[in-house]
């Protein structure tokens, strides 16, 4: 069954297998967001929903070609929230690269299993942005402050093995489908309901120094750090602040210039 031209569902033995097929990197385009939102409704009645992607990678970011225009519904934060709030829990099968909005989607799933060598990142900082679908709010809850700062403020990539050591991945295996089956009939509290103590003053000062060194005059690394600190507040208060800042930064000179360079380099290669 297709719920959009790029999202398909196959129900077998009370498990709904939800596939994103949006080559080349399964970016979170309007069609993908629309399909995923419809899929959340369509999987109700199953015992488990398994989210996976066709091709060489899981969702490797947003569709930046849409960033110069006003945001179009359904917005990614609403899609991510629908996945997290779904009475039928989702498990994400991860391979290739899990970046930006892709990692935000994965964090909203109840469980995450990944192939060895899968790479994770929140690289919005390199485009003059912060995550806009809960990335700065869920990452500290899932990863702890140190890894969340590395990924959001410093643009570092992490491996599936790194995340597994931090308890952020439930299994690292070549047999993702078999790993998913162990979660049938189980449930798990929402990640956004977790609480995290604020950074200490010394931790925040050290993280600010590291962000300043990485920034080299850019604003985004420090703005990512500021957004991260909001994660010690209730999610429903902080996530709208993150989204508002993300949308504001899309229009900034810094982000516009960095996205221009990104597309120019991609065109050349």
Give residue-wise pLDDT tens across range 141-178. 999 999 999 999 999 999 999 999 999 999 999 999 99
Phi-psi region of 162 (alpha: psi -120 to 50; beta: other; left: phi over 0): alpha
On average, the pLDDT of the chain sits at 94
Q: Where are the beta strands (DSSP E) in 74-197?
A: 90-94, 97-99, 111-114, 119-121, 158-159, 171-172
Q: How many domains does the chain have?
A: 1
92 in a structural domain: yes
pTM of the model: 0.94
CATH of the domain at 200: 3.90.226.10
132 in a structural domain: yes
Q: Residue 56 in contact with residue 130, Cβ under 8 Å?
A: no
169 in a structural domain: yes
Q: Give residue 89's pLDDT.
A: 98
Q: What domain range includes position 207?
A: 7-268
1 in a structural domain: no
């Amino acid at each position: 069954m297709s719920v959009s031209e790029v999202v398909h569902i196959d129900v077998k033995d009370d498990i709904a297998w939800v596939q994103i097929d949006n080559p080349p990197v399964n970016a979170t385009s309007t069609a993908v967001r629309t399909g995923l939102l419809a899929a959340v409704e369509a999987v109700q009645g199953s015992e488990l929903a398994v989210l996976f992607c066709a091709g060489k990678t899981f969702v490797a970011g947003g569709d930046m070609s849409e960033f110069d225009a006003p945001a179009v519904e359904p917005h990614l934060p609403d899609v991510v929230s629908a996945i997290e709030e779904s009475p039928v829990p989702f498990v994400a099968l991860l391979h290739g690269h899990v970046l930006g909005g892709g990692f935000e989607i994965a964090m909203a799933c109840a469980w995450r299993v990944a192939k060895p060598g899968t790479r994770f990142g929140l690289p919005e900082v390199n485009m003059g942005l912060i995550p806009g679908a809960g990335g700065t709010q869920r990452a500290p809850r899932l990863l702890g402050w140190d890894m969340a700062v590395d990924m959001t403020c410093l643009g570092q990539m992490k491996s599936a093995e790194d995340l597994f050591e931090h308890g952020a991945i439930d299994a690292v295996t070549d047999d993702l489908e078999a790993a998913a089956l162990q979660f049938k009939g189980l449930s798990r509290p929402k990640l956004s309901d977790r609480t995290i103590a604020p950074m200490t003053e010394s931790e925040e000062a050290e993280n600010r120094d590291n962000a300043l060194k990485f920034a080299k005059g850019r604003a985004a690394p420090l703005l990512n750090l500021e957004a991260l600190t909001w994660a010690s507040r209730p999610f429903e208060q902080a996530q709208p602040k993150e989204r508002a800042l993300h949308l504001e930064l899309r229009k900034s000179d810094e982000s516009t210039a960095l996205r221009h360079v990104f597309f120019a380099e991609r065109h050349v290669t």
